[in-house]
Structure 1
Amino acid sequence: ELVCSKGPLLPLFTALKLHRIHLIRLQGKGLISALPALWQLRQQRYDRVYVPFASSTDHLLAAWVRGCEKLGFDDAKGDAIFARPEPIEEDRHYAYRPLRLLGVDAGPEQQIALGLPVATRHPQLVELARAHPGQPLIGFFTGARKGKGLSPIQWQRLLAQLRRQAPDAVMIQFNDPAAPLPLVGDVTLSLTSLCEFAAVTAGLSLFVSCDTGPLHLAAASGVPCLGLFTQTDPRHYGSLGAQHHNLVVTDRDQIALNHQWLSRVMERERPSLPPAPLFIEQSAHQPLNLQQAC
């Protein structure tokens, strides 16, 4: 069983065949609606409870749940909950820390594959690629919380640099449908799910974003990513994989790009478009024979 706080993450877990997913959000008005799920958790006794993130909210839930064995980290009062809490390894990338609870000592040489449905290309991306044949498709996401992002003017300056590197590129701005931002690219896309987002980014030439969730989801889809780290440390939060470039930004008004890396990315062969659809007209009086149609 899985406990998580937000519905948009649910499509990522559909392939895991979980017995039950509990949506619990303890902040603000979410506390009242979470009470039935909290009571349901309390009624069950679990063999093991894994707490992969050392936060006060997660540790509060871990203390509430009844379990024979609870595994977590010694940060945020974890030593009061877990019998043998794992120490936080400050030098380890954040993505690998939770694996320590499973006894797995993973490192950057071991790729983490996110099983997302990106085998087929998204219709909106197919349409864009056909409208701009041979032109690089560069996606970017301007939203970032807690002061980690860039202002619209700073994004315009950064995009101007990218245009000098790839003059014929189409700049695709990804918007959060709940909080759309001013358009600074050529076109904008507002997608309804994280799986849709990954399906689109998988077919891009490049994806650019500050350190936020869409950056890491795009990186997992396989597209080369330019991550802009204005506050956080890429040693802990950088995109994993040799095809990505994690850039520490000290001056948001004058971002120094790695033009050699950008040149290699622009020369990289993008996934080919699927073949044009085949339309077969069916007679109202004749059943469709697939063998004859093929």
Structure 2
Amino acid sequence: MTLKHQLRKFDQFRRSKMPNLETAFYHLFSNTANLEKHKLTKDKVKHILLIRNNKRIGNIYFLLPFVRQLRDAYPDAKIDIMLNEPWQSNIFNNLEINHFYYSHFSFQGIFKFLKMMKTLRKITYDMILLPQTSAGDTIITALLDGRNKVSSYHPQRNLICMHAVRIENPREHAALGCLSVLEGLGHTLVEPFLHTLAFTKEELDSGLQVSRNLRNNQARLTIAYFRGARGDKLLSDKTWLTILSKFERATNQQVQWVEILSPDISSPIKTGVKTFQTADLRHLAAVLKHLDAFICCDTGPLHLADAAGASCIGLYSHTNPSSFGVIGENTINVADIENLDAQAIGKKLNLF
């Protein structure tokens, strides 16, 4: 039996036993000191803790519509957010968040986690809110003090989130499905659903200046692309060169290509292209916003660009675009990469 198969068997065993372990834990350690039976009215909710522990960059960008709607639903409340790592809080800059906490929720980060919990256990929140009901987030919620604990309904975790909301017809896209939790609390959602970053003028000006430099201060079609991806989503160099060639043939303009580099991709695939690299994700987003389009096959960078308001061309070889695709007005999801129609995409995005 291979190691991979052994690990898979162990994971299946762990998952089969997890419901019973969860229930036992909740019975033993649930903090119900100030838990109230009934849902608080809107005017009674003055302090909210939103919990979302996830390391995937795309999933954190998916939280933007929920945070914006939550801010509209409780305009006078203080909103705290618990995330996994400090870099994630930059996504929510300028959205009037009171305080960020970082769980470092892993075995390696156990001491940082315990330090954070020691601080949080001194606070009684009016509402502890889980947009997604993961086991980890529910365990943290169990240990904290809250008058209301809210999530979507889950049979094992309802013992903790007593004010859970049953969702009958959830929205399919992962960034919008959790909005039903707010509807279940009686809030009318504000449309259109905003999934975008809140940039400062300085950030936008800086991004614009970089974009002008990448264009050589000329009014020319400038398209950025990023080749990095995990696992099966990674496209071959041959596929990428074919995609770039299709766009070059589809327009009578000269295309200024900009390859986004990263620690994993240190040199461009084509000669004569511009390159750009930065560790500042908000700056990268502001730059992409001011270019004509962005092509990518990995959901994380795609959703960063989508949240920036960039024109995105998402290449989906293994991921379901109905649930994880780009959702901006000037974006397109491509599932049939082999038969990509650059001419049709260019017309839809007003590139040529």
Change (3 A) 1:8 1:164: farther
Gaps in structure 2 of 5+ consecutive residues = 1-79
Identity %: 23
When the two structures are superposed, what TM-score results if normalisation uses the length of structure 2?
0.66
CA-to-aligned-CA distance 1:76-122 (integer Å, 9 cap, x gap): 94333211323454553222223222225659854444322353242
CA separation of 1:76/1:174 partners in 2, compared to 1, >3 Å: closer, same or farther? farther
Aligned partners of 1:25, 1:77: CA distance in 2, in Å?
Answer: 24
- CA–CA distance in 2 between the matches of 1:108 and 1:158? 35
Tell me what 1:96 maps to: 176
Q: Separation in 1 of the partners of 2:82 and 2:111?
A: 16
CA drift of 1:228 comes to 1.4
Specify the alignment match of 2:144 in structure 1.
65
Is the contact between residue 45 and residue 67 of structure 1 (CA under 8 Å) also seen in structure 2? Answer: yes
Structure-2 residue corresponding to 1:124: 210
Q: Alignment partner for residue 343 of structure 2, among 247, 252, 259?
A: 259
Q: Which amino acid aligns with 2:177?
A: R
The 3-state SS of whatever aligns with 1:97 is coil
Q: How far 1:207 sits from its partner (Å)?
A: 0.8
Q: In the superposition, relative to structure 1, how do residues 235 and 86 fare at CA in structure 2: closer, same or farther (>3 Å)? A: farther
Letter in 2 for 1:86: V
Q: 1:107 to 1:22 in 2, by over 3 A?
A: closer
Report the TM-score when normalising by structure 1. Answer: 0.78
Aligned to 1:48: 127
Tell me the equivalent position of 1:275.
none
How many equivalent residue pairs?
Answer: 263
The DSSP-based 3-state class of the residue aligned with 2:233 is coil
Q: Distance in 2 between matches of 1:10 and 1:82?
A: 25
Match of 1:142 among 227, 233, 236: 227
Shift of 1:36: 0.7
Q: Which runs of 4+ in 1 moved over 6 A?
A: none
Q: How does 1:1-294 map to 2 (within 5 A)?
A: 1-75=80-154, 77-87=156-166, 89=169, 91-103=171-183, 104=187, 110-117=193-200, 119-122=204-207, 123-130=209-216, 133-166=218-251, 168-177=254-263, 179-180=264-265, 182-185=267-270, 186-249=273-336, 254-267=338-351
CA contact 1:56–1:76 (8 Å) conserved in 2: no
Match of 1:286 in 2: none
In structure 1, list runs of 5 or more residues that go unmatched. 269-294
Contact 1:116 1:198 in 2 (8 A): no
More displaced stretch, 232-241 vs 117-126? 117-126
Bigger Cα displacement from structure 2, 43-52 vs 165-174: 165-174
Cα contact 2:196–2:309 (8 A) shared by 1: no
- Cα-Cα RMSD: 2.7
Are residues 152 and 13 of structure 1, via their aligned partners in 2, closer, same or farther at CA, if it must alter by over 3 Å?
A: same
> Which has the larger helix fraction?
2
